[in-house]
Structure 1
Amino acid sequence: MAEKLTDLDLLATFLEIYRGGSITAAATRRGLTQPAVSGQLARLERDLGEPLFIRGGRGVTATHRADELARRAGPHVDQLRSALDPAPALEGTVRIGGAAEFMTTRGMSALTPLTQRGIRVEITLGLANDLLNALKAGQLDIVLSAVRPGAGLTASPLTDEEFLLVGPPLLARTVDRELLAEDPARALEHLPLVAYSDELPIIRRYWRSEFGKRPKNPTAIVVPDLRAVLAAVIAGAGVSALPRYLAEPAITAGSVEQLHHPEVPPLNTLYLVTRGAPAPAVRAVAEHLKERDWGVL
C-alpha cells in the first residue's frame, strides 16, 4: 500500500533538510530512510514546480525559494509539531554566544525548535576568546567556540569545520599547475590574501597544516566577518581559506574555485562550552545541540 503523506509531513521533512543541510541527517532525525526523504523532497519540489536545494558532494544548499518557504512555513510547522510533541514544556532564558557566521547559517535554525517548547534565547555574536571570557564572568550560559577553552569550563566536541582554499576564477588561472603539484606554497604565493584579521589565523593554520610553512603572500583586505571575506574573494580581491559551509554554495555557483585539493582537508573542532552545573533550560539546550547531526561543516 502506498504511503499516504500529508502536507505537514512534506514540510516537516523539508525543514529538517533545510536546517541540517543534509538529506542523510534529515532521514535520521525523521526516522526515515534516505530514499524516503529524497522521495518526499522530490514530491514537494514537483508540487511547487521548482527546486528547493542544489545537491552537492557534502550535502545540499538551499535556493532562494527554500529560504522563503522556510521563513513562511517554519514557525507554523514547528507550532503544530510542538502541539503533538509529548516532550515537556520548558521555561527560562538561555544566553548563547557564537561566531556570527556559524550562528547565522547553522545555529539559528538548530535553536528554533527549542523556542517552540518555551525557551527564550538571547544570542551574543563575537570572537571565541571574548565569548569564553563572558561565559566565565557569568554573562553567558553556553558558547559555541572554535577555540578549546582552558580550565574552569566544560567543553564537548560538537562538530568539525572543514576548510577550503578558494579564489576567484581569474586569479585561479594565474596558478602554475605543475608548480602547484610540486611546491604548492610557492605556486600560490603571488596571490593576494583576504583575511579575517591581521594575524591571518585561518589562513596561517591552513598553510601550516598543508604546506608546513607560513604564507608569504601579500594581504589585500582584512575584514572580521567570514561572509565579508567570501564577498571580497568573489569580487576578485584575493584568495582565502573558508569553512566548507560558506564556500561550497559559491563553488557550486562558479563564483569561486577551490585552488588546492588536499587528500584530507584541514579541520577545526567546534566546541559546546558551559560552566558549573547548568540550569534545566541550559542543560536542555546543550543536549539538544549535542544530539543534532551536524555532519562536517
Structure 2
Amino acid sequence: MDLALLRTFVTVHRAGSFTRAAALLGLSQPAVTSQIRTLERQLGRPLFLRQARGVTPTTIGDELAHKTAPHLDALVEIAETVADDSSLRTLHLAGPPEFTAERALPALTELTGEDGRALALRASFGNAQEALDGLAAGHHDLAIGTARPRGSLLTATALCDEVHVLVAAPDWAERAGVEDLRDTDAPALKDVPVVDVHESLPFVGRYWASVFDARPSVPATVVAPDLRAALACTVAGAGLAVLPRYLCTEALDRGDVVALHDPPVPPLRTYFLVVRTGTLAMPHIARAHEWLLRAASDWN
C-alpha cells in the first residue's frame, strides 16, 4: 500500500475535510479526492461519508486511522532523525499567545540546555481550534488548549487551572463606589466601560454569568485580541476587564489596577496539554510534556 495515500488519508481523517487536508498537504482538492478514492478502491471499502460540511469517517476509516496514524508519525520522526546529523531535536508547540508566552515557553527554555543543543523550540500562536487542527495535521508536537478534544486521535491531559479576576484602574473603582469587594454586584458596575478580547465579551460575559448570574449591560469600549493588550488598556484607564490572575498579579501588586470583586468561588478556566495519540513514545515530546506538567504544579 502506498504510504503517500495513507498520509493523505490520515490528514483527511484528522482535518475532517478534503479542502482543509489539501491546504495542509499543499495539494489541490481534486488530488486529495483522487488519492482517497484510489485507497478506497484498493481496500474495497468506503473510508469517509461525504457531507455538506466536510467528511465523517466510516467505521473502517476510523479503524484504519487508529492503526496507521501512530506508525506514520513514527516514520516521520525517524526521517527527521536521519536527516538531522546533530543531537538537536525540535519541539513544535502551539497555544494561546498570552499563556504560551508567559507560562509555557519560559518553562520549556530550561530544556534547551546551556549550549542550546538539547532542544530547539518553535512556537505558533492561535486559538484553540487552530492549535488542535495543526496538531492533528502533524504541524505541531504539543498543543495547549482550553477544551478537551473529542475522539481518540488526540490525547489531552489537564495542565492547570487559570483563575480569573475582575480588575480596573483605581479611578474606576473609586467612581463605581467599590468598597466591599465581596458584596459588589453587577448593577454597581453598569456604568464602567468594558475591555475584552472580542466583541462577544468572552471573558467578561463568562464572569458575569458565573458570578452575577447576569449578562454584561454594556458593549465593549475597547476590543484587543490579546490579553496583554487588554491589561495595558485597563491600566491606562479604559475600563474594567476580566483577566487571568497570573497575567495581572504584578499590576495588582503595584496598584496599577485593583480587584473590583472577590467572589467566594472565582471563575476558572482549565488548560489542557494535547498530543497526537502515540507520540509520547518520542523522547523529546515526552520530556517536554512531563516538564510542562511539573512546572504547572507551581503555577497559580
TM-score, length-scaled by structure 2 = 0.65
Check the 8 A contact 1:129/1:147 in 2, yes or no.
no
Distance, in Å, in 1 between the alignment partners of 2:188 and 2:286 is: 49
Q: Which residue of 2 aligns with 1:281?
A: 284
> Structure 1 276/247 Cα, relative in aligned 2: closer, same or farther at 3 Å?
same
* Pairing partner for 2:106 from 103, 106, 109: 109
Check the 8 A contact 2:144/2:274 in 1, yes or no.
yes
Residue 198 (structure 1) shift: 1.4
> Structure 1 112/178 Cα, relative in aligned 2: closer, same or farther at 3 Å?
closer
Matched, 1:119 2:119: yes
Check the 8 A contact 1:159/1:295 in 2, yes or no.
no
Other structure's SS at 2:165 match: strand
Q: Which residue of 1 aligns with 2:220?
A: 219
Coordinate RMSD, CA, aligned: 2.1
Residue 261 (structure 1) shift: 0.7
Check the 8 A contact 2:198/2:225 in 1, yes or no.
yes
TM-score, length-scaled by structure 1 = 0.66
Other structure's SS at 1:156 match: strand
Distance, in Å, in 2 between the alignment partners of 1:182 and 1:94 is: 47
Distance, in Å, in 2 between the alignment partners of 1:175 and 1:236 is: 13
* Structure number with larger C-alpha Rg: 2
- Choose 130-139 or 100-109, whichever is displaced more: 100-109
Q: Which residue of 2 aligns with 1:66?
A: none
CA deviation vs aligned residue, 1:17-76 (integer Å, no higher than 9, x gap): xxxxxxxxxxxxxxxxxxxxxxxxxxxxxxxxxxxxxxxxxxxxxxxxxxxxxxxxxxxx
Matched, 1:99 2:102: no
* Pairing partner for 1:295 from 292, 295, 298: 298
Q: Which runs of 5+ in 1 are unaligned?
A: 1-88
Q: Which residue of 2 aligns with 1:188?
A: 189
Distance, in Å, in 2 between the alignment partners of 1:158 and 1:181 is: 29
Alignment of 1:63-212 (within 5 A): 91-116=88-113, 118-151=118-151, 152-177=153-178, 184-212=185-213
Count of paired positions: 209
Distance, in Å, in 1 between the alignment partners of 2:131 and 2:237 is: 32
Other structure's SS at 2:298 match: coil
Distance, in Å, in 2 between the alignment partners of 1:159 and 1:179 is: 30
CA deviation vs aligned residue, 1:224-257 (integer Å, no higher than 9, x gap): 1101000000111111000011111111111111
CA deviation vs aligned residue, 1:126-184 (integer Å, no higher than 9, x gap): 21121111111111110111233222311101111111000011111122448976671
Q: Which residue of 1 aligns with 2:236?
A: 235
Distance, in Å, in 2 between the alignment partners of 1:200 and 1:148 is: 22
Distance, in Å, in 2 between the alignment partners of 1:207 and 1:242 is: 13
Q: Which runs of 5+ in 2 are unaligned?
A: 1-85
Check the 8 A contact 2:158/2:271 in 1, yes or no.
yes
> Structure 1 97/114 Cα, relative in aligned 2: closer, same or farther at 3 Å?
same
